[in-house]
Structure 1
Amino acid sequence: MTSTEASGVRRDPRSFKRATLLELFFDVFYVAMFAQLSMRFAADPSWGGLGQSLILLLAAWWTWSVTALATEFYDPRLRVIQIVIASTVFGVVLMACAVPGAYGDRGLLFAGAYVGLHLVRGILLVAALRRRSAHARAQRFLFWFCVSGSLWLVGGFVDPAWRAPLWAGALVIDYLAAALRYPTPLRGRVPLDQYDQLSVHFGERYQQIAILVLGELGLMATLQFGGVEYSPARTVAFLAAIAIALLFWQIYVLQTDKFVDRSAHRNPRGAARLASYVYAVLVTGVIATSAGVELVIHQPLGTTPATWLVLLVGGPVLFVLGRMGSEYVLLRLLSRSRLGWLALLVVLTPVLSALAPIFVTVVTMGVLVGITLTDMWRTRREATAQ
């Protein structure tokens, strides 16, 4: 950490635009988090298991998005912000370690780490910040994390059968409070004009985490293929998984420069308020796909259970919908061709249930190829028209 002191509490949108090295270091730990979550989805692909894993994923994602918003609103050169990021690293590491046993003997560890890192952030900011608007913002966040934190901690203590409902309720509070701009007694809501100043840094932070989660898909496929007995079917499944990761990347990078520009200059309020929700869908899609790929590499042939279809088909659908959400929020674009390809994949799902997992993966890959080719054709046509 540096000793550089910032001239003010609030980040100046015209100042440095790149993420700090500490922010990038923080992101690296999410590779472990994403890997743990992917394995958690694959370890228990029952309906109940998928729901439990989704709760953990949404909690992990909320930690990242709130931290990213803090480093966008507050100047990351401030010593207190650097301490906040460093302390959050410890919380994320503990959460990642607790993921496999979060609904067993590590429930309190997961809940305690999640609540602890949010409370530490809030307390440090409230204690250190003196500027009125920044201080009030930190108080609002701290109040609502205290409210949701009680459910998280109770869930960590009670019988595991009650854990998922309590944690789901806590997540509803976390996500809904942010959507309502943290309405707090005696403090009101976060003023809308505080969402109107964003720097290019904000868009780049989301790009960086998206690339990391896409890399996790390729990483997990490689690790799983390297750890199983070789067979032609598993080789095809592995190659299809790498192809899906590359297709995800191609779909993601389309018009990405426009997204960064719009988030900072054209529609900062929409980007600041909706990015965390839109990317929650995108990240969930990638992690679900990664878990599905892990299952297929281990068992490429045989029947395809319904819950496997949720991962193998639902994952790519969520990813594309998440990317389309970004396009709509920032560019007011809605790709009909992508909707058509996704509708085709959904319509084919009953047929896919009769196929082996490897064929489901190949068909899904084919739909992604169709989306990519259609995107390229549309982009070329638009460039020609200009």
Structure 2
Amino acid sequence: MTSAEPVGLRRDPKSSSRATLLELFFDVFYVAAFAQLSMELAEHSTWSGLGQGLVLLLAVWWTWSVTAIVTEFYDPRLRVIQGVVASAMFGVALMAVAVPSAYEGRGLLFASAYVGLHLVRGALLVGALRPRRAHAREERFLFWFVISGVLWLAGGFVDPAWRVGLWAGALAVDYMATALRHPTPRLGRVPLDQYNQLSVHFGERYQQIAILALGELTLMATLTFASEAHTPARAAVFLIAIATALLFWQIYVLQSNTLVDRSAHWRPRQAVRLAPYVYAGVVTGVIATSAGVELVLHEPLGPTTPTSWVALIVGGPVLFVLGRMSSEYVLLGQLPRSRVGWLVLLLGLTPVLSAQAPIVVLIVTMGVLFGITLTDARRNRHH
């Protein structure tokens, strides 16, 4: 199925790379979702709590990445595509509302919103695409979301102790089906050549959600600091949090235009297939960092306990940098040894940091990020 897609619905790769206002409005709904997820990770910062929060985070992320594919593949100015985006807004809003109690009384609400979002999108697209061979792509997606939807909804009904296992299995189905190109009975897999046509708009959309996530980090740091009693230690943590956001931005923007251009014109297939997974690491890293900052603002000078706190404070930046490095490796063939060295150093210091006050862990982590930006700048000047 290469030329069977209806021309009237397909997005013109040469059209404007700017996101529509509706797409930007859609992204705003993720501010609330990311903030809820950050607070959830901070409030339940045990190892089991982090695992539960990660499942919710990856589910919320998947709703954005799949919708971004739709507005890249189809023209977002069309009414049916606008209907898909608008319906997704309701789903994201309901998921955000359910996040704090997703493993208690609102599990079914979270699962229903997630499943409903995907099924409504699939039904709208299959209904709009004619002839039958044209909507085979969306039938594949819908088939697999029905399968994972059974697990999601079952998890909403069962005892919370079993919920995380069912939802993790459902997530595995969603992520693996996409990685395998949605193999479906009678239809087969999505043809590889359908991934070859990509516009600059795709890279721009991912840049926008990354910057939005960084905005969530600064927002939560500001709100948490404002709600706590002001002390010199908390003031220092707040300033470190803002500096960390700026360092994240500096690491992210390096070669960003080159990456967008390469994804659209040189390696579109790799970009469109790997972006959802690579940016899952980037976004998760920022939200984990935000949760870690919130914990440190509450107790900057106390003990760093439980040890899962270190996983948030240190692991967040590590995930962010690894996600960005993955983009550079896939699209540019670059794997900077300096960044690898800094990350190895930070991870090697983790046992020592576990015995330090939270503010010390945060300072050391920021120092490593600062070191990465310095070596990045030196490497950039050399090239």
TM over 0.5: yes
C-alpha contact 1:126 1:138 (8 A) present in aligned 2? yes
Number of the residue aligned with 1:264: 264
Q: For 2:276, give the aligned amino acid.
A: S
Instruction: Check whether the contact 1:80–1:128 (CA below 8 A) recurs between aligned residues.
Output: yes
Cα deviation for residue 7 of structure 1 reads 6.1
Q: How does 1:173-188 map to 2 (within 5 A)?
A: 173-188=173-188
Deviates more, 1:164-173 or 1:72-81: 72-81
Is 1:302 aligned to 2:298, yes or no? no
The answer for the alignment partner of 2:324 in structure 1 is: 323
**Structure 2 residue 205 is the aligned partner of structure 1 residue 205:** yes
Following superposition, the deviation at residue 77 of structure 1 comes to 1.7
**Hey, what does 1:170 align to over in structure 2?**
170
Within-5 A mapping of 1:78-227? 78-132=78-132, 134-227=134-227
For the 8 Å contact 1:221–1:294, the answer to whether it is kept is yes
Which shows bigger deviation, 11-20 or 117-126?
Answer: 11-20
Cα deviation code 1:242-278 (max 9, x no counterpart): 1000000000000000011011000000000000000
Q: How far does residue 76 in structure 1 lie from its aligned partner after superposition?
A: 1.0
Whole-Å Cα distance in 1 between the matches of residues 132 and 277 of structure 2?
A: 28
Separation (CA, whole Å) in 1 of partners of 2:81 and 2:129:
10
CA distance, structure 2, for counterparts of residue 7 and residue 270 of structure 1? 24
Partner Cα distance (2:339, 2:99) in 1: 34
Q: Offset of 1:210 from its aligned partner?
A: 0.2
Q: The residue matched to 1:309 in structure 2 has which SS?
A: helix
Pairs aligned (count): 377
Q: TM-score, normalised by structure 1?
A: 0.97
Give aligned-pair identity as a percent: 73
* Residue 134 (structure 1) shift: 4.0
Name the structure 2 match of 1:379. Answer: 380
The alignment partner of 1:19 has SS state of coil
Q: Is the 8 A contact 1:140 1:182 kept in 2?
A: yes
**Alignment-derived partner of residue 3 in structure 2:** none
**Are the structure 2 counterparts of residues 239 and 134 from structure 1 closer, same or farther at C-alpha, using a change threshold of 3 Å?**
farther
Uncovered stretches (5+) of structure 2, i.e. residues with no partner: 1-5
Q: Distance in 2 between matches of 1:131 and 1:41?
A: 46
RMSD: 0.9
How many Å apart are 1:79 and its aligned residue? 1.1
Q: TM-score, normalised by structure 2?
A: 0.97
Supply the distance in 2 between the matched residues of 1:281 and 1:244 (Cα, whole angstroms): 17
- Asked if residue 368 in structure 1 is aligned to residue 366 in structure 2, the reply is no
1:31 maps to which residue? 31
Q: Quick check: 1:19–1:201 contact (8 Å CA) kept in 2?
A: yes
Residues in 2 aligned to 1:314 and 1:7: alpha-carbon distance in whole angstroms: 45
Partner residue, 1:3: none
CA displacement 1:155-184 (0-9 Å, x = unmatched): 000100000000000000000000000000
Shift, 1:132, TM fit: 5.0
2:87 and 2:360 map into 1 onto residues whose CA distance is 45
